Amino acid sequence: MSRTRGDPIDVAIVEDEKTIREGLAVLIDGAIGFRCAGAFGSMEQALSRIGRDPPDVVLVDLGLPGISGLEGIRRLSERFPDVPLLVLAVYDDDDRILDAVLAGAQGNVVKKTPPDLLLTCLRSVSDGEAPMSPDLARKVLGLLTNGETPSRLVSDDARILEKLAAGHVYQTAAAELSLSPREIGLRMKRVYDRLHLRTAQKHRIA
């Protein structure tokens, strides 16, 4: 489903901890321009109930019982390739986040993210941008360069990743690189897409 201008951003939540799941649902439903499209306590529920009218964004906890968040991201990505999936993580440096990105996620937010920042992130993702934390940027930069110099990447993308890895947020990185924060968000979305494509090609070869 393509969202038209003025429509609320539909967000689905997959989180087994009831307090967190219900808190996120209340936050999203209570925010102007947003709507909770479903709050699921397991990936099994999400996979069975997200149907022909998928949400605009899905928040996925990694530590799910039954079908794991990682496996669920892989399945959701295959079923709904145009729906951005965001990892809900306890810590930014969780090594599973990179695995989730390779499985199809387009970034992560920590569970203690302030409400206004979480909503900003959801809005940006629905507009085609993608968040990237400093720790994830370091891992992605290392993965894409494979120990080679970052100049072998598209130069602007490499410079952005280096700034983010050093702790910059999109606004400060944009100021240093003479880009807009939105341009950085769009370029990071492109980086995620490259990782997804590379993973898909690897699986096809295997």
Determine contact, residues 139/162, Cβ cutoff 8 Å: no
> For residue 64, what are its two tokens?
């799910």
Q: Record the tokens describing residue 176, joined without a space.
A: 């240093």
pLDDT at 196: 85
Q: How far apart are CA 147 and CA 129, in angstroms?
A: 27
Terminal CA-CA length for the chain: 32
Give per-residue pLDDT as tens, 117-173. Answer: 999 999 999 999 999 999 999 998 888 776 444 445 556 788 899 999 999 999 999
Count CB neighbours of 151 within 10 A.
10
**Statement: the pTM of the whole predicted model exceeds 0.85:** yes
- CA torsion sign for 139, 142, 145, 150 is positive
Whether residue 30 contacts residue 11, with contact meaning beta carbons closer than 8 Å, is answered with: no
Q: Could you give phi then psi for residue 121, rounded to 5 degrees?
A: -65, -45
The CA distance from 61 to 50, in Å, is 16
Domains and CATH numbers, the chain: 9-126 (3.40.50.2300), 134-205 (no CATH)
Cβ burial of 96 (10 Å; 0-12, 13-18, 19+) is middle
pLDDT digits (tens, 9 = 90+) for 84-102: 999 999 988 888 999 999 9
What is the average pLDDT across 4-17? 89
For 190, other C-beta atoms within 10 Å of its C-beta total 13
Structure tokens at 108: 């992560």
The token pair at 27 is: 């936050």
Tokens for 171, please give them.
């606004």
